[in-house]
Chain A
Amino acid sequence: MKTKYLPYLLILPAGAYLLFFIGYPLVQAIYLAFTQNGHFTLANFHRAFSNSMFFQALKFTLALAIVIIPIQVVLALVLALIMMNTFKGKDWVLYALIIPLTISDVAGGLIWYTMLSDAGFLNKLLLNLGLISQPIHFFGYQYRTMEFLAIVLEEIWRSTAIVFVIILAGLQMISREYIEAAEVFGAGYWTRLRKIVIPMLKPSIQSALIIRTLFAMQIFGAVWMLAGRDIPVLAGEGYYQLTFIKDYSVASIYALAIAMLSIVLGALYVKFLKAPYLEVGE
Chain B
Amino acid sequence: MNDETKYFLTRLGIYTFLFTFVLWVIVPIIISTLYAFSTRLDYYNMNKVIPTHFTTEWVKTILFTLGGWQGIKNSIVVALMTIGISFSLGIPAGYAIAKFIFPGKDSIKLSIIALRMFPIPVMAIPLVILYIHLHLIDTLFGVALAHTAMALPFVVLITSSIFAGVSKDFEEAALVFGLNRFQSFLKITLPLALPGLAAAAMFTFVMSWNEVFVASILTLKNRTLPAQILSIMAGSSGGAAPPYYKFAAAFIMTFPALIFVFFARKYLVTMWGITLK
Contacts and interface: CB of A to CB of B under 8 A. Distances in A.
Contacts of B204: none
A253 to B, nearest CB: 10
Contacts of B229: 106, 110
Contacts of B249: 107, 110
A96 B28 CA distance: 12
Interface residues of A, number: 94
Given A10-B93, A18-B152, A106-B226, A242 B128 contact: yes
B59 to A, nearest CB: 13
B178 interface: no
Contact of A121 (B49, B100, B269): B49
A239 interface: yes
A99 B265 CA distance: 9
A207 to B, nearest CB: 9
B97 interface: yes
Interface stretch (B76-84, B105-113, B168-176, B193-201): B105-113
B1 interface: no
Interface string B6-42: 0000000011011001101110110110010000000
A14 B92 CA distance: 8
Interface in A1-41: 3-4, 6-8, 10-11, 13-15, 17-18, 21-22, 24-26, 28-29, 32
A51 interface: no
Interface string A88-126: 000101111111111111110011111101011100110
Contact of B243 (A113, A244, A255): A113
B122 A255 contact: yes
B153 A255 contact: no
Given A104-B212, A255-B126, A95 B265 contact: yes
B127 A157 contact: no
B119 A243 contact: no
Interface stretch (A52-60, A191-199, A209-217): A209-217
Nearest to A220: B213
B107 to A, nearest CB: 11
A116 B154 CA distance: 34
A99 B258 contact: yes
Nearest to A20: B149
B226 A221 contact: yes
Contacts of B93: 10-11, 13-15
B84 to A, nearest CB: 13
A15 B268 contact: no
A79 to B, nearest CB: 6
B117 A211 contact: yes
A221 B269 contact: no
Contact of B254 (A3, A91, A103, A127): A103
Given A98-B265, A114-B28, A107 B128 contact: no
Give the interface centre of A18, A79, A224 by most chain B CB atoms within 10 Å: A18
Give the interface centre of A26, A87, A99 by most chain B CB atoms within 10 Å: A99
Given A17-B152, A169-B274, A221-B213, 10 more contacts: A11-B108, A32-B126, A75-B21, A98-B261, A106-B212, A113-B246, A121-B35, A125-B49, A220-B213, A262-B118
Interface of B: 14-15, 17-18, 21-22, 24-26, 28-29, 31-32, 35, 43-44, 46-49, 89-90, 92-93, 95-97, 100, 102, 105-106, 108-110, 112-130, 145-146, 148-149, 152-153, 156-157, 160-161, 164, 181, 206, 209-213, 216-217, 226, 229-230, 233-236, 243, 246-247, 249-250, 253-254, 257-258, 260-262, 265, 268-269, 271-274, 276
The 6 A-B pairs with the shortest beta carbon distances in the complex, nearest first, are A104-B210, A21-B149, A110-B250, A169-B272, A10-B96, A28-B126
